[in-house]
Amino acid sequence: MERAVLVGAPDRDLPKRLADEHLEELARLTDTAGCGVVGSVVQRVAQRHPRYYIGEGKAHEVAATVRETGADLVIFDEELSPAQGKSLEELFGVRVMDRSELILDIFATRARSKEAKMQVELAQLEYLLPRLKRMWTHLSRERGGIGLRGPGETQLETDRRLIGKRISELRRKLGDVTKARAVQRQGRSNKFRASLVGYTNAGKSSLLEALSGAELFVEDRLFATLDSATRAVPLGSGHEALVTDTVGFIRKLPHDLVASFRSTLEEAREADVLLHVIDASHSDWEEHYEVVNGVLEDLGLDQQDTILVFNKIDRLTHAEEEALRERIHGIAPEPAVFVSAHDERSLGALRETLRARVLARLAHVVVNLPSTDGEAIAALYREGEVVGRAEEDSRVMLTAWVPRAILGRLAARSGVRVESIA
C-alpha cells in the first residue's frame, strides 16, 4: 500500500469546521483509492503561490514531513496547474497528485461497464494531455532504464498525437452510446421516469434497492457505483415509476469528468422528476445540497422538477429530525420527504409522492372508438396503461390511464369519443 501525505489549502474565510471536513473527505477519498494516510499539512491561503500553490515555507514543511514519514505520494486537496505539479515534485522528490487526479483514479478502478470505462478514460486523457511532460520526466526519474532516460520532444509529440487520436475515438464511441440511449429512452417515453441524484455516499443505490426490491451493488464508500441502473418501482394501485440511479457528485468534481459522464446524466435530463437524495445524518448536508445544485446548474438541470429525499433518518433522534424539518423550510424551496432505506414503512411517503406525480400527468378516461382504428388502439396500449377493455358491435371501449398530452390527438380522430372518469 502506498503512503500519502495530504495537503489542504482552504481559503482563509472558510470556517474551520468546513476546512477540517474537506481534509477528512480527502482522507476518505485516499482510502477509497487504496492508499494509507501517514500525515497531513494545512495552510490557509489568501493568494495562491504561482510555483507551489501553498507558501514556499509551508512547501518545505511538507517536504520535511514526506522525509520523516517515508511517504511515496503527496495529495493536494486543490487542483494544481501542470507547472505547480512539476515544481512540487522536484521539491518533494515523490509523486504529487491533486484532488482531480485522485478522483479520476478512483473512477478508473470503480468503472465496470464498457461505457463507464470509456468515460473515465476520456476524462483521464484530457486531464493528462497538458501534464504529459511532467508525467514523462517523473517516469524517467523513478524507473530509469533504456527508453526512459531523458525522453525527448519527439517522443512527447508522438504521445500527444496518439492521445489526441484516442480522445477523438472515445468521443465518437460515446456519441454512439448517447444515440443508443436516446433510442432506449424513446421506448420508455410512456413511462413515468425519476432519476436519483445526490452527493456521493448519500445512499442512492441503497434507496433504489429498497424501493424496487432488486439487488444492486451497495457499499459504504465514496463512489461505490458509477454505472447507472434503472429499476421499476411499484407505487400502488397498478402504477409504477422507472427510477434511475446516477453517478454521485462531490465538491470540486473534475470538469472533464462531468463532461465525460454527460451521456449517463442524460437520463436525469429526460426524467419527469429528480430525486435529490441527501444524507440527513451528515453534519454538512447543507454544503452537499449546494454542491449538487451547482453541478445540476452546470448540466442545465437546475430547472427540473425536484423532490428532496432526506435519507438515513434512522440515524437521527426524534428531536434531531424535527429540527431538520424546521431547518429546511428556510433553505430549500423544493418539497421534501424523509426516509430510511432500511425502514420499509418510511418509504411509503416517497412512493405516495411519486404516485401523485404520476397521476398528475395522467388522465383516467374511457375511450370509445371503432374497432377498425388499429392505430389509435395501438397508441393507447403503447403510450398509456389500459386497465379495462369491452367490445360491442363494431366498437371498442378502453378504460385507461393516458398522458394528458395525447388526449387532444385522440379526440380529433374520426369516430373517437373520450370521456373522463372522476
Distances (CA, A) of 114 to 110, 119, 120, 249: 12, 9, 10, 21
- Residue among 49, 110, 53 nearest 76 (CA): 53
- Tell me whether residue 157 is exposed, middle or buried, using C-beta atoms within 10 angstroms of its C-beta: 0 to 12, 13 to 18, 19 or more: exposed
pLDDT for 262 equals 67
- Residue among 183, 337, 327, 212 nearest 273 (CA): 337
Distance CA(275)–CA(110), nearest Å, equals: 23
Are 203 and 312 in contact, with CB atoms under 8 Å apart?
yes
C-alpha cell read off for 129: 494531455
Can you list the pairs that 344-347 forms with residues at least 24 positions away whose Cβ atoms lie under 8 Å? 344/210, 346/313, 346/314, 347/210, 347/211
Full DSSP string of 10-34:
-BTTS-HHHHHHHHHHHHHHHHHTT
Distance CA(238)–CA(282), nearest Å, equals: 36
C-alpha cell read off for 170: 472515445
Distance CA(93)–CA(70), nearest Å, equals: 11
CA quadruple 202, 208, 213, 215: dihedral sign: negative
Orientation of helix 114-128 relative to helix 99-110, angle to 10°: 160
Distance CA(215)–CA(213), nearest Å, equals: 7
Are 244 and 193 in contact, with CB atoms under 8 Å apart?
yes
End-to-end CA distance of the chain: 66
Per-residue pLDDT of the chain (422 residues; tens, 9 = 90+): 899 999 999 998 888 888 899 999 999 999 988 899 999 999 998 889 999 999 999 999 999 999 999 999 999 999 899 899 999 999 999 999 999 889 888 888 877 778 778 888 888 888 888 777 655 554 444 444 334 344 444 667 777 888 889 889 988 988 888 787 777 666 556 678 999 999 988 999 899 999 998 776 656 556 666 667 888 999 987 788 999 888 788 888 777 677 666 666 777 888 899 999 999 999 889 999 999 999 888 888 888 899 999 999 999 999 999 999 988 877 888 889 999 998 988 999 999 999 989 888 888 899 999 999 998 998 888 878 888 999 988 999 999 888 887 888 888 888 888 888 75
Q: Could you give the domains of the chain?
A: 3-99 (3.40.50.11060), 122-179 (no CATH), 189-342 (3.40.50.300), 362-420 (3.30.70.240)
Distance CA(257)–CA(247), nearest Å, equals: 11
**What pTM did the predictor assign?**
0.78
Distance CA(155)–CA(111), nearest Å, equals: 30
Are 414 and 377 in contact, with CB atoms under 8 Å apart?
no
On the CB side of 4, how many CA atoms lie within 13 Å of its CA? 27
Full DSSP string of 91-105:
HHSSEEEEHHHHHHH
Beta pairing partners, 45: 11
Q: pLDDT tens across 33-77, in order?
A: 889 999 999 999 888 999 999 999 999 999 999 999 999 999 999
Phi, psi angle pair for 241, to nearest 5°: -130, 145
Distance CA(20)–CA(58), nearest Å, equals: 18
Full DSSP string of 265-328:
HHHHHT-SEEEEEEETT-TTHHHHHHHHHHHHHHTT-TTS-EEEEEE-GGGS-HHHHHHHHHHH
